[in-house]
A and B are shown apart, each in its own frame.
Chain A
């Protein structure tokens, strides 16, 4: 989705067309869930907090200024703050610096199109092909390890290790 299209959607939402917000939820939900899952180390909590972040973003949309930041940057910041609040409420360790680094690293605003295109091609070339399938299921379809494990009739640990091996292959080819 282009930045211009994003701005149009935001204007429509601010004009009262609530349903237009759906496009933004569809665009960013997988990223936000994985981001929160990584911070909280729990899929379900990650989904709950990603939902919370979208609701917060919707309620505060009038305070968003596209001149100051990309929508994705603003949204990921909200999600990080929601997750930090959750960790604090649940008396769990909060490493704010790490979370800030995650937020910067995962923000689509920091990525080049060429790099994205290269990753897309490399995914298709992962060997064995099941690595490509699990990468697509997790990062593209937004499925949890648990859901993917059911599809492949295996355990979540195995799915985790397939994803790690796939990422190693990708890292090697990107370096």
Chain B
């Protein structure tokens, strides 16, 4: 029997900030609305009287009339916001930068309509970043747009496999390809330039673009003629997989398959809202994501686009009691004395960590060379993982509760050199 209890626990463990599949919710809600309208909004009229145009709307609630009026105005005025029909208009709001606890520039960003993947709302500009704070808005908008497109592509093109169990099954999987610029567009093909937003140099690529290909701009279908050389585009391809059972199996329990991944075919080209440079992956990597530290929610811990190396770790899960939880705290090292050291969290709280050994000295002597000679010293950023009672908030973390200590590193670009954060 499948381990459904563990699956159930995993589903229940979901944090509230994980947004469920809105498309699915909308589909269910759309199926419910008609019955609700018919039960609650029964129209009554004198059948002997001819219905006027205004009378057709009289039964509607006031908010619906206002919504209709706004909709009509938007349609007639041709506002850009009305264009987005395939996915929501990606929007963000960036607050002016402030200086973070680590002395970097920090920004709060509110994202909306960026697909279903939740995005952090606090970011720190890494030291030596190639972008400055004034560019953050453009880069974050570009990232939001790419996520919205990615979600749309999967929802639109993902489909189940053909064929039945026991037979060879063909499955086409959609994929949104990296951002590139157009070199040319003709009636039958489309050519992408060499460079992509991950700054990889690919061969110039020409793909067949028959009439069935969708061309999309501003979140809606447009004519091919709207696309010009130099436009930044994302494109969706379908990659074919053929699975053939490796063993004789006739039931749904058949699990072993040989697999063949075939060539891709182009299905949609999406003209992006912004300049090609705003989609640069390295620019996005210049922003370290921050989120509340688990168990110490007043302080912030580095989350995405951040690196670390382990200074110490051990498994204490077996000794975790029902009243305890694993907590995280991160901060700047303010003092080191023998095995112990103190850190100051972003909330300004000082924590004393009673480490089990002179882990900083050991790292600096033996492993630092592998990290561009980055050394753990006063001023370095360190994260501590430890066990503590759920209700306690001690600022001294004893040796026997420490599960791990990590040294935070800063890497500006993928594959780039590491420096102390």
Residue numbers of A with Cβ under 8 A of B are: 16, 18-19, 21-22, 25-26, 29-31, 33-35, 38, 41-45, 47, 50-51, 54-55, 58-59, 92-93, 98, 101-102, 105-108, 110-111, 114-125, 135-136, 139-144, 146-147, 149-151, 153, 155-157, 167, 170-171, 173-174
Contact = CB atoms under 8 A, between A and B. Distances in A.
Interface stretch (B13-21, B92-100, B411-419): B13-21
26 contacts: A16-B36, A25-B24, A30-B20, A38-B7, A51-B24, A101-B4, A105-B4, A106-B4, A106-B5, A107-B8, A110-B8, A115-B9, A123-B13, A140-B11, A141-B19, A141-B117, A142-B24, A144-B158, A150-B174, A150-B175, A151-B150, A156-B171, A156-B241, A167-B6, A171-B6, A173-B318
B14 to A, nearest CB: 4
Contacts of B160: 42-45
A48 B175 CA distance: 23
Contacts of B24: 25, 29, 33, 47, 50-51, 142
A140 B33 contact: no
Given A106-B7, A120-B15, A125 B259 contact: no
Contacts of A139: 7, 10-11, 13-14
Contact of A171 (B3, B175, B261): B3
Interface in B1-60: 1-15, 18-21, 24-25, 27-29, 31-33, 35-36, 39-40
B128 interface: no
A173 B318 CA distance: 7
B19 A51 contact: no
A120 B4 contact: no
A137 to B, nearest CB: 9
B7 to A, nearest CB: 6
B359 interface: no
Contacts of B322: 114
Contacts of A155: 241, 259, 261
A93 B10 CA distance: 28
- List the 7 closest pairs (A to B, CB-CB), nearest first: A18-B36, A44-B160, A105-B4, A106-B8, A120-B13, A41-B252, A140-B14
Given A38-B2, A157-B259, A170-B6, A119 B13 contact: yes
A34 B7 contact: yes
Contact of B326 (A58, A110, A125, A153): A125
Contact of A51 (B20, B31, B175): B31
Interface in B57-97: none
B158 A16 contact: no
Given A47-B24, A141-B117, 4 more contacts: A34-B7, A119-B6, A141-B18, A141-B21
B175 A153 contact: yes
Contacts of A59: 35
Of the four ranges (under 10, 10 to 19, 20 to 34, 35 or more), the interface on chain B belongs to: 35 or more
A114 B33 CA distance: 38
B257 interface: yes
B67 to A, nearest CB: 14
Interface in B195-245: 241, 243
Interface of B: 1-15, 18-21, 24-25, 27-29, 31-33, 35-36, 39-40, 116-117, 150, 154, 158-160, 165, 171, 173-176, 241, 243, 251-252, 257, 259, 261, 294, 317-318, 320, 322, 325-326, 390
A141 B20 contact: yes
Nearest to B165: A41
B378 to A, nearest CB: 29
Contact of B39 (A16, A122, A153): A16
A136 B18 contact: yes
Contact of A26 (B25, B36, B176): B25
Contacts of B150: 151
Contacts of B27: 51
Nearest to B17: A140
Contacts of B19: 141
B17 to A, nearest CB: 10
B117 A31 contact: no
Contacts of B117: 141
Contact of B8 (A19, A42, A111, A171): A111
A121 B12 contact: no
Contacts of B7: 34, 38, 106, 139
A118 B325 CA distance: 7
A63 to B, nearest CB: 16
B115 to A, nearest CB: 10
A161 to B, nearest CB: 10
A150 B9 contact: no
A141 B116 CA distance: 8
Nearest to A172: B317
Contacts of B11: 30-31, 34, 106, 108, 139-140
Contacts of B259: 155, 157
Contacts of A55: 28, 31-32
Contacts of A107: 8
A53 to B, nearest CB: 9
B81 to A, nearest CB: 23
B325 A121 contact: yes
A105 B213 CA distance: 46
Contact of A111 (B12, B40, B116, B173): B12
